[in-house]
Structure 1
Amino acid sequence: MSSIFTKIVNGEIPCHKIAEDDRFLAFLDVMPLVEGHTLVIPKQEVDYIFDLEPDVLADLMKFAQSVAPAIKKAIPCKRLGVTVIGLEVPHAHIHLVPMNVMSDMNFSNPKLRPSQEELAITAEKIRRS
């Protein structure tokens, strides 16, 4: 059965895209820790990030690195936190989280529940940056 991220890649589930190429996709988390929380995934469905081929893993990080400046410019923050947890969706992914304090990266914090309109505005702001 396809993961929710594969369904997003296939266009079966909509998302708020930040960037995309033939192998990778970056889109907003619909239940973010903070505004601008972005997920970066390989389009290839692989459950565990360290099961990716080494060159794919390296290119995934390079793709995330190319997305990061736009997030940081659009969402004022001190840093972009980067984490790989991988328990909630069985599809390799990287979290890019704008952060001003360490607790912004605490995944135990309550998640925000932005509207689709708010997510669309944030995605557009990031894409324009």
Structure 2
Amino acid sequence: MAPTLFTKIINGEIPGTFVYRDEYCVAFMTISPITTGHALVVPIKEIDQWTDLPPQLNAHLFNVAKIVGRASMRAFSCERIALVVAGYEIPHCHLHVIPSNSMADLEFANARTNVDRKELEQSAARIIVELKRDGVIGDL
């Protein structure tokens, strides 16, 4: 089977705007955000369904989503951080970490396309500032 789009991003074959990386997973900005600051937490190993994640990897992904979510909450001054696991478009498990102020912010039909890379980099920089404040250091 061919590598997924996410594997190509993780391996640097396709550009990605990363905010976190460790030996098990990465977090990067989605190219189709539904809100400013919408990031994805993705295991390095290709696993399609989140229900197939080994327990330790599952716990790690959700912990990283929490860490990125806390940083995002401060970075974007939002009321909540939504966490969504859908998995329909790319057969590689991923957690959506979405800054939100209402349920209306969670409409995937409203995802923006053709977002300027500079905008993604600015969002990532805001999250990274907060991750550094929290003492989170990743190999970016």
Whether the TM-score (by the shorter chain) exceeds 0.5 is yes
Other structure's SS at 2:56 match = helix
Distance change (3 Å), C-alpha of 1:38 and 1:110: closer
Q: CA deviation at 1:114?
A: 2.4
Q: Between Structure 1 and Structure 2, how many residues are aligned? A: 129
By how many angstroms is 1:109 displaced? Answer: 2.0
Tell me which amino acid in the other structure corresponds to 2:122.
I
| Paired position in structure 1 for 2:54 | 53
Aligned-residue RMSD, C-alpha: 1.1
Alignment TM-score, normalising by the size of structure 1 = 0.95
Gap runs ≥5 in structure 1: none
Cα offset for 1:102? 0.5
CA contact (8 A) 1:32 1:113 kept: no
After TM superposition, the score normalised by the length of structure 2 is 0.88
- The letter of the residue matching 1:75 is F
Residue in 1 that maps onto 2:116: 115
Aligned to 2:9: 8
Distance in 1, Cα, partners of 2:32 & 2:119: 12
Partner residue of 1:32?
33
Runs of 4+ in structure 1 off by over 6 angstroms are none
Q: SS of the counterpart of 1:85?
A: coil
2:76 matches 1:84: no
Counterpart of 1:93, as a letter, is H
CA distance, structure 2, for counterparts of residue 73 and residue 25 of structure 1: 20
The CA deviation at 1:112 is 5.2
1:47-77 Cα distance to aligned partner (Å, 9 max, x none)? 1111111111111111111211111111111
* Counterpart amino acid of residue 91 in structure 1: H
The percentage of aligned residue pairs carrying the same residue is: 37
- Residue 111 of structure 1 deviates from its aligned partner by 2.2
Instruction: Please say if residues 33 and 111 of structure 2, whose CA atoms lie closer than 8 Å, have aligned partners that are also in contact.
Output: no
Letter of the structure 1 residue corresponding to residue 49 of structure 2: Y
Aligned-partner SS, 2:110: coil
- Is this contact kept in 2: 1:30–1:114, CA < 8 A? yes
Partner amino acid for 1:122?
A: S
Cα deviation for residue 80 of structure 1 reads 0.3
Q: Summarize deviations over 1:96-124 as a string: whole Å, max 9, x none.
A: 11101111011122425421111111111
Separation in 2, partners of 1:67, 1:98: 10
